[in-house]
């Protein structure tokens, strides 16, 4: 979305102001093929831009811009993005990409054009990397992909990673409703490391709007997936992404998103106001015809409802004990991805916290014992 892009420009300005000597590189879907140099020239706070598939040249690029830096990049691992073994700064919480690109072509999204079609990492290579990460201290692994559940044999991949001795939590982001199979649900319910938290983007509760967005599922199918998840994993926390004010969104269509919220009672939702992203199908063929004030009004309506459902979902934890991975002193996340606040705790440690209070966006409690 355009708003997200504008935020990147602002962040770069701030970064440059706060740390004038830092080397700023831009990667991802803002960098179009062949336009790397142009974008660097155009943006005065930017030092370099590269496409995900050119990640392999990153070492050389940095070295050319900062010849005095002594970069220790593994010889031979530069050629392929997926073969780079990251030197992670947070050892206990790591992210492992398993797929890039996308074949879905949602009409508002630039990813399939900017990142190309889906590419998958080799199954054994992913498992080996996870083993390596766990042996060097990882307690939580998050598998990453644009539509992560479109990975062939995804349930089997989870199963293999689950066997790794010492791993405590296995997460993934983001799945697509069309690929969310019953086999995957049953696997998530059965494995010991997979967490009772699923982020499943819906984008709209209206079938007509979903069709304009080129999201190939219906409201009914989405509700059915949530029903099956809750049947298999009764305590599962559920979050989603939703867009308000997409091209042509009528009041009735918005009401269908609203009623979907009421029906599901999400734990968390990332609500965005639609803004046109240049180069997408929606930019070329659809009209961004919902006034900003109406988008804002719809956003507030959903956000007010979310505050209620999120608080209600959090209140059920009061009096219970939750397992928390400490991310910084006094704060961590439960297996259900709830932000938990308490006193003390060592970063990277897993503790048990007795929940004493619940707010919309977080739980409060006291450490009962390290696990
Ligand atoms: Fe973009 Fe996700 Fe749709 Fe792919 S599935 S086109 S990444 S929104």
pTM for the whole structure: 0.83
What is d(CA 218, CA 234) in angstroms, rounded to the nearest whole number?
A: 23
> Which tokens belong to 130?
């996870």
- pLDDT tens string 144-168: 999 999 999 999 999 999 999 999 9
- pLDDT tens string 17-54: 988 888 999 987 788 888 888 889 888 889 999 886 67
CA dihedral angle for residue 256, residue 261, residue 262, residue 265, rounded to 10 degrees: 160
Q: How far is the CA of 214 from the centre of ligand 1 (A)?
A: 10
pLDDT band at 77 (very low <50, low <70, confident <90, very high): very low
Mean pLDDT of 78-84: 51
What is the full DSSP assignment across 105-173? Answer: --TT--HHHHT-S-EE--HHHHHHHHHHHHHTT--EEEEE-TTGGGSTTHHHHHHHHHTSTT--EEEEE
Q: Residues with Cβ within 6 A of ligand 1?
A: 102, 104-106, 109, 111-112, 146-147, 176
Q: How far is the CA of 107 from the centre of ligand 1 (A)?
A: 9
Mutate to test the pocket of ligand 1, among 97, 104, 144 (most ligand atoms within 8 A of CB): 104
Predicted local distance difference test score (pLDDT) of residue 262: 96
Nearest-CA residue for atom 2 of ligand 1: 146
What is d(CA 42, CA 45) in angstroms, rounded to the nearest whole number?
A: 9
Whether the Cβ atoms of residue 235 and residue 261 lie closer than 8 Å to each other:
no
Q: How far is the CA of 265 from the centre of ligand 1 (A)?
A: 24
Nearest-CA residue for atom 1 of ligand 1: 109
End-to-end CA distance of the chain: 42
Average pLDDT, the chain: 91
- pLDDT tens string 192-242: 999 999 999 999 999 999 999 999 999 999 999 999 999 999 999 999 999
Q: What angle do CA 274, 3, 22 make, to 5 degrees?
A: 155
> Which tokens belong to 217?
């599922």
């Amino acid at each position: 979305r355009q708003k997200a892009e504008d935020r990147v420009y602002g962040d770069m300005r701030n970064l440059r102001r706060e740390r004038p000597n830092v080397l700023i590189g831009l990667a991802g879907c803002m960098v179009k093929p062949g336009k790397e140099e142009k974008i660097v020239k155009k943006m005065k706070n930017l030092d370099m831009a590269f496409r995900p598939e050119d990640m392999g040249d990153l070492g050389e690029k940095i070295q050319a811009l900062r010849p005095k830096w002594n970069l220790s990049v593994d010889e031979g691992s530069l050629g392929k993005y997926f073969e780079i073994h990251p030197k992670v700064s947070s050892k206990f919480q790591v992210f492992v990409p398993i797929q890039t690109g996308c074949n879905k072509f949602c009409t508002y999204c630039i990813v399939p054009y900017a990142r190309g079609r889906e590419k998958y990492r080799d199954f054994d290579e992913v498992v080996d990397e996870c083993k390596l990460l766990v042996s060097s201290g990882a307690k939580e692994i998050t598998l990453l992909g644009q539509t992560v559940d479109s990975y062939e044999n995804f349930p089997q991949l989870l199963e293999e990673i689950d066997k790794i001795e010492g791993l405590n939590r296995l997460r993934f982001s983001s799945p697509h409703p069309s690929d969310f199979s019953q086999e995957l649900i049953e696997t998530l319910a059965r494995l010991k490391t997979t967490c009772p938290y699923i982020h499943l983007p819906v984008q709209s509760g209206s079938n007509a709007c979903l069709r304009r967005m080129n999201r190939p599922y219906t409201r009914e199918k989405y509700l059915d997936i949530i029903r099956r998840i809750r049947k298999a994993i009764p305590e599962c926390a559920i979050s989603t992404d939703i867009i308000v004010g997409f091209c042509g969104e009528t009041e009735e269509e918005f009401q269908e998103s609203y009623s979907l919220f009421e029906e599901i009672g999400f734990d968390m939702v990332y609500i965005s106001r639609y803004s046109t992203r240049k180069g997408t199908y929606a930019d070329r063929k659809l009209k961004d015809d919902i006034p900003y004030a109406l988008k804002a009004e719809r956003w507030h309506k959903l956000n007010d409802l979310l505050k209620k459902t999120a608080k209600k979902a959090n209140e059920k934890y009061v009096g219970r004990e939750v397992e928390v991975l400490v991310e910084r002193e006094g704060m961590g996340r439960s297996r259900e991805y709830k932000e938990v606040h308490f006193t003390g705790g060592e970063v990277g440690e897993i503790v048990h916290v007795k929940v004493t209070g619940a707010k919309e966006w977080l739980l409060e409690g006291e450490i009962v014992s390290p696990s």
